[in-house]
Amino acid sequence: MASMLNPLINTFHPGAADPISLKCFMAANSPIICQLKMRNVRKQLGLARVAATVQKTEYMAAERAEMFRSMENWVENNVLTLLKPVEKSWQPQDFLPDPSLDEGMFFDRVKEMREMACELPDDYLVILAGAMITEDALPSYQMGMNNLHAINDVTCCSSSPWARWLRGWSAEENRHGDLLNKYLYLSGRVNMKQIEKTIQYLIGSGLVLNFNDDTHRGVIYTSFQERATSISHGNAARLAKQHGDKNLAQICGIIAADEKRHETAYIKIVDKLFEIDPDYTMLAFSDMMKKKISMPGLLMYDGCMDNLFSHYSTVAQRLKIYTINDYADVLEFLIRRWNVEMLGGLSCEAREAQDYVCNLAPKIRKLEERAQATAKKAPAIPFSWIFHRQVKL
């Protein structure tokens, strides 16, 4: 049947059907035979379109993978340099009581730390616990990034600059959750078992990523995410200082500085992509914003509260740790940084994507007003992380 249909497919392909040939075909066959044959023609045409789309997609993916490989020297000289040598990096122990001190001195330091932490309100502890849980779920984030076609480090020890960056970045990020975890443990203010259960649930649930294995989308996501995290940790530092915990303020501040440096790396990568592949990068940026940049802790669960991440985010919004306006600010910053409004020479589709991105922030800001109105009516609910004490959403 396929061999019989091939000439018909060539004759009646979309947009180029020959009316004379079509009349001859219809005249030479009964209506039922015509209907059956034309149905098979349409089926064959559909399969041909799918095959052509798959072939084109595979070709473009291979072409982009080669483009990222061609960037390896650039990554070596412009991105890897933003990692700090281990011997020059801060470590969690730099901000915690030293257990090697004699017993009396160690417990004195712990006591000082607990006295400063005792003034932290419950809603702030919820925010700090949520931030720590998000940072501690690092294995999922590295796995997601490792699958990007530009990295594709199946051995987990590739010497390519892309893979070395990812491992170095993950190693630096790993200290964040480690430090916050130990701080909360020593503070005595939270239910560590419930927090530990939440971490296990989150790592076990995986990670919702809207970029699949597309590296353009992946580095746009991390550019946005790293800046957002820097802002939230910076705001947490500010509030910790206001509540009298200078040690915690320093901890959140040093983590925010790390996130800022990582943000710089990913923003530089997207800078380069806009330079060498502007059309696709613009489409990827628009697509990520249409899907929304979901936070890494989206699948949080503590074993007893549904919508845990949503409730945690609502508290963060109320405390101005990370708000809808912050989200819009990050978007506007990236548009300016990547000079998106001034990009020229784009395809029609990419220009539409450009218009969408450049006009999005004001629409997002309108949601802030609704959030504030909703917050006034929000109830107080118990959080297991603070022994089920109630916190207003």
* Residues whose CB is less than 8 angstroms from the CB of residue 346 and which lie 6 or more positions away in sequence, other chains included: 278, 279, 282, 354
Q: Which domains does the chain have, with CATH numbers?
A: 1-70 (no CATH), 72-392 (1.10.620.20)
Through-space distance between the first and last CA atoms of the chain, rounded to whole angstroms: 65
Q: What DSSP line would sit under 5-24, residue for residue?
A: HHHHHHHS-TT---HHHHHH
Tokens of 272: 């380069």
Question: Residue 222 is inside which H or E element, if any?
Answer: helix 215-242
CB 222 within 8 A of CB 166: no
- Name which of 214, 149, 197 is nearest 305 in CA terms: 197
Three-state SS at 168: helix
Partners of residue 229 on adjacent β-strands: none
pTM value > 0.75: yes
Distance CA 328, CA 322 (A): 11
Neighbours of 128 (CB within 10 A): 26
Residue positions annotated with a catalytic role = 90, 135, 173, 176, 226, 229, 258-259, 262
Tokens of 333: 């910053």
- Which residues participate in the annotated binding site for Fe cation? 135, 173, 176, 226, 259, 262
CB 391 within 8 A of CB 381: yes
Residue ranges with strand state E in the chain:
380-383, 389-392
- Name which of 13, 8, 3 is nearest 37 in CA terms: 8
Tokens of 382: 């118990």
Distance CA 315, CA 320 (A): 8
* Residues whose CB is less than 8 angstroms from the CB of residue 226 and which lie 6 or more positions away in sequence, other chains included: 259, 260, 262, 263, 266
pLDDT tens, residue order, the chain (393 aa): 333 333 333 333 333 444 444 444 444 555 555 565 556 655 565 555 544 443 444 445 677 878 999 999 999 999 999 999 999 999 999 999 999 999 999 999 999 999 999 999 999 999 999 999 999 988 777 877 887 877 888 888 899 999 999 999 999 999 999 999 999 999 999 999 999 999 999 999 988 877 778 999 999 999 999 999 999 999 999 999 999 999 999 999 999 999 999 999 999 999 999 999 999 999 999 999 999 988 888 999 999 999 999 999 999 999 999 999 999 999 999 999 999 999 999 999 999 999 999 999 999 998 888 877 777 788 999 999 999 999 999
- Name which of 265, 210, 269 is nearest 67 in CA terms: 269
- Name which of 47, 222, 247, 232 is nearest 150 in CA terms: 222
